[in-house]
Structure 1
Amino acid sequence: MTRFGTLRLAALLGAGVLLTPLGTAAAQDDASPRPARDRLTWDPGSLASVYQPAPGFYSYAPSVVRDGDTEWIWSCHNDESRVIEDHIYLTTRVDGVVTQTRSVLHASPAPAWDSFHTCDPSVVAGRFHYGGVRYSYAMFYLGNDVDASAHNQVGVAFATDPAGPWVKYPEPIVTSDRVDQWGAGQPTAVSLAGDSGRVLLAYTRGDTSTRAYASVVDLTQAERLRVSPPVLLPADGLVGADGAPDYLNGFDLALDRTGRDVVVVREQHPYPIDNPWWIGPSVQVARISLRDLLAGAGRWQPLGEIDHALTGFTRNHNAGLARTWHGRLADPSGVEVVFTSSCSSLPTIDDPDWSQATCDSLYSYDLWSITGRWTGSAS
């Protein structure tokens, strides 16, 4: 996977590190009864606009941290009007009011591996040492070096403050050699063992097929970066918008309050045939045990969908979960999803006559949120 050393995932699991991912706090949570949570019941009244970029700009694929009354939202965003060159922006909100939005991570000078797009952020707290400095935050992100959806790879940057500045690690930690394939990206990460440097990193790989993987990354000393062999994540139990078995990509994950289960929000398929046909109509929330996820086994339990019937938007895509700094669900009584909306119109993928278009789809991407509450009996 990388040219660096590896860390055996099975050894970590056997040592119990991953079963109580946040140390003492996790052990305390494990002793308490699980909340009733067979499914989520969405509250339509909670649907709210989070961030609407100015005309000619887009925002999608948010990484969301809720800390008291403050929300920290990193997203994929262009920096010049109607120029498709991705930066990572930070938008902060206090009591629901946007207080700032600005670029915090952008492409490196050529010929760096991330010299064109930087996108798909996932921010997590921990204790990371790099270049003689102790950092408190890591941002995993997608980068590439071509003006296309190709040769994507996953890198990481560090900061002492969530507002930045962010210091990039110079090489990708999940690589992709083929420049004619989508590659590896859409990272999502949660902290393991509290303020350690160990992180569970999951991501999408797209080449001859689309699938998801996870590894444990030890960034305690980044110069001696260790990455466990990747585990292929299960897709059993996931269903598409058409009710058929589905695959896993375009997802964000969080640990639940107990630390024993993983909750995911992910794009549903099949994709539509009208503009934009490259994003999903809906997202699904599901859960699986952390033990099963790390073993690449088990079955996802679908919990609920965010779709046109719920939101009124014809596209609901590229979503993130509201989390704590270490990657747990921010609200133990439910799930808040921050998703991207889009308009839709002709043309179709089979008849791409753009003169028919009435929807400037990319520049309609903005961020919305909705909350679901646990219902049912604990399993």
Structure 2
Amino acid sequence: MNIWKSGVVKGPVVLIALGILIAALGCSQSLPDGSVGNIGRYNYSPSVIQTGSVRQIWWCGQGKNPNNTSQDTDAIFYESINLSTKVVYGPVLVLAETPGAWDSFYLCNPKVIGGSFENPLGDGQSYSYAMYYVATSSSQGVNNSIGVAFSNDGIAWKKYPQPIIAPTSLNGYGVGQPALYNSDKKSGISMFYEDDFPTPQHVAATSTDGVHFRIQGTITSNGLDPDNPGAGWGDMAYDSKTFEWYAVFNRPLRPPSTTGNIPEYGQYGIELYKISQSALLSGSTPWQQLATFDTNATLYESNFIAGFVRDGFGNLNVGSYPTIQMYTSVSYPLPYWDASPADAGRSAQINHWILTPLQWVPGDNELLSLNRYFNKSVHEVTTGPVSPDAGFQLEGLLGHLYASPSHGADQPFYACKGGQTDYFVSLDLNCENQRVLGKNGYGYSQQVSGLNLVALYRCSSAHDHFVSNDPKCEGQKTDSLLGYVLP
């Protein structure tokens, strides 16, 4: 497989209302409810269109190339789901590499858009779908370009023979991870894609025929999380009612030193943002962070490269709007609650990747409840769920954190884990060189006049860490003052 420049393989408070079923841990032969993919083979980087009650999903997965059966790597799969009748078609392989062509290796990262594309291939035919995808002629996975194929049913595709976006440098990954919008419901395509030269950035380009593109500028990074510079993304989509763009950016990778030297190629989380259309390139107003979906929030070891549920033209105004729905690449099944760092890392290996639905409800539960749990052995303090096999019981509510930086609360509280069972809360992005689970939310670093804030202290006993409102840590050792939260 091709390894993306940031380390990922190419190709409820908010309340995060997970559209998933937390299934049996350790081993499973079936997908969680609503998920898609081929069990035992990698599945990631989804593109999703919903028309009425039918969802069409394309993604990058491992499959044998019909044009070269010795090639069992990246290919594009398709599945449709009727949400009303529950009728499913697929998964089926619909696109793969062309031997000897520019896309002879690592064809991946599909994004599909509807429209009316008149004679784009010079064959006198018009098409109602365009798929933009990433591939290369290099077996080393460098110098990636973006190409396009056309279809009238989303299953049978015809490729344009040359790349339509070429890399700006021949000395790196190249370009990838396109996101799409159709401005005229014909062939007026806006494409947003990643370019790693000279530094990682997101580029905006437009076309009037779906084939020939002109660069319009670089998407602003103003407002993106400062603890995650140069973050790659999964997708971007437009809200045509509010004139805002939404995007899902990846959180960092875990260092192998924290996962028993088992590399994890999928990041541990994603962050959802929005920005006004007028500021997308100028940065005149910043991106607004809305929610984080990570191990702390989902229990999955990896959560990365999400794709929005959109209409055929790239609008979010579909399905359960204004709820924002997406499919996220996750590792499945869950690791056991007391898995070793290495076993947790193994649970995120590429053959465990599937696609599962998540959603965010605007304005719902801006504040996250920071709860303390105990299972007669150790504590866990979290704003997310607790592992179902751990036997944790709720001890009490410690306070409330904001789901995103809000009202002056800009101190992130990270969820961490040391060894197999030592859950702890830290102010350090890197969890003090222990395993990062994600973000609990945002609080205050100091008291604020006019706010009835409560202090949180990090405490330790002979066998674990916990958090308390008591400065004396209930008779145990007081490690530090973490900060202040709403009661």
Fold agreement, TM-score > 0.5: yes
Specify the TM-score bucket, using the shorter chain as the normaliser: 0.7 to 0.9
User: Do the aligned partners of 2:46 and 2:59 also contact (CA within 8 Å) in 1?
Assistant: yes
Tell me whether 1:75 sits opposite 2:64 in the alignment.
Answer: no
Distance in 2, Cα, partners of 1:105 & 1:334: 31
User: Do the aligned partners of 2:228 and 2:251 also contact (CA within 8 Å) in 1?
Assistant: no
Tell me whether 1:300 sits opposite 2:291 in the alignment.
Answer: no
Partner of 1:145: 137
Structure 1 segment 134-283 matched on structure 2, within 5 A: 134-163=126-155, 165-176=156-167, 178-193=169-184, 195-219=185-209, 222=211, 225=212, 227-239=213-225, 244-258=227-241, 260-269=243-252, 271-273=254-256, 274=259, 275-283=262-270
Amino acid at match of 2:93: S
Distance in 2, Cα, partners of 1:50 & 1:174: 32
Would you tell me which structure has more helix in proportion to its own residues?
A: 1
Partner of 2:80: 92
Call closer, same or farther: CA 1:297–1:360 in 2, change over 3 Å: same
Secondary structure in structure 2 of the residue aligned to 1:291: helix
Distance in 1, Cα, partners of 2:269 & 2:206: 29
Partner of 1:285: 272
Distance in 2, Cα, partners of 1:294 & 1:138: 25
> Deviations along 1:172-216, whole A, 9 cap, x unmatched?
1110164541110111111112x2211110111124422111111
Secondary structure in structure 1 of the residue aligned to 2:290: strand
Partner of 1:128: 117
Amino acid at match of 2:180: A
Tell me whether 1:339 sits opposite 2:328 in the alignment.
Answer: yes
Distance in 2, Cα, partners of 1:186 & 1:117: 13
Amino acid at match of 1:160: N
Partner of 2:45: 61
Call closer, same or farther: CA 1:356–1:303 in 2, change over 3 Å: closer
Distance in 2, Cα, partners of 1:364 & 1:102: 19
Secondary structure in structure 1 of the residue aligned to 2:130: strand
> Deviations along 1:228-285, whole A, 9 cap, x unmatched?
224111112111xxx6253342320111141611011121125443433433110011
Q: Which moved more, 1:269-278 or 1:181-190?
A: 269-278
Tell me whether 1:314 sits opposite 2:301 in the alignment.
Answer: yes
Distance in 2, Cα, partners of 1:259 & 1:83: 45
Amino acid at match of 2:60: C
Q: TM-score, normalised by structure 2?
A: 0.61
Give % identity. Answer: 25
Partner of 2:356: 368
Larger Rg: 2
User: Do the aligned partners of 2:43 and 2:59 also contact (CA within 8 Å) in 1?
Assistant: yes
User: Do the aligned partners of 1:272 and 1:280 also contact (CA within 8 Å) in 2?
Assistant: no
Secondary structure in structure 2 of the residue aligned to 1:203: strand
- Residue number among 16, 20, 24 corresponding to 1:42 in the alignment: 16
Partner of 1:17: none
Distance in 2, Cα, partners of 1:169 & 1:238: 35
Higher relative contact order (CA closer than 8 Å, sequence separation 6+): 1
- Residue number among 99, 117, 122 corresponding to 2:106 in the alignment: 117
Call closer, same or farther: CA 1:297–1:272 in 2, change over 3 Å: farther
RMSD (Å), alpha carbons:
2.8
Distance in 1, Cα, partners of 2:277 & 2:52: 26
Amino acid at match of 2:223: G
Deviation of residue 147 (structure 1)? 2.4
- Residue number among 75, 95, 106 corresponding to 2:96 in the alignment: 106
Deviation of residue 149 (structure 1)? 3.1
Q: Which moved more, 1:139-148 or 1:182-191?
A: 139-148
Secondary structure in structure 2 of the residue aligned to 1:374: coil
Distance in 2, Cα, partners of 1:364 & 1:325: 29
Call closer, same or farther: CA 1:97–1:237 in 2, change over 3 Å: farther
Deviation of residue 372 (structure 1)? 1.5
Name stretches of at least 5 consecutive residues in structure 1 with no aligned partner.
1-38, 346-353
> Deviations along 1:67-116, whole A, 9 cap, x unmatched?
22221110001114996521111111223553211111111120x11111
Deviation of residue 286 (structure 1)? 0.4
User: Do the aligned partners of 1:272 and 1:281 also contact (CA within 8 Å) in 2?
Assistant: no
User: Do the aligned partners of 1:231 and 1:296 also contact (CA within 8 Å) in 2?
Assistant: no
* Residue correspondences, number: 320
Call closer, same or farther: CA 1:86–1:184 in 2, change over 3 Å: same
Call closer, same or farther: CA 1:236–1:169 in 2, change over 3 Å: same
Q: TM-score, normalised by structure 1?
A: 0.77
Secondary structure in structure 2 of the residue aligned to 1:151: coil
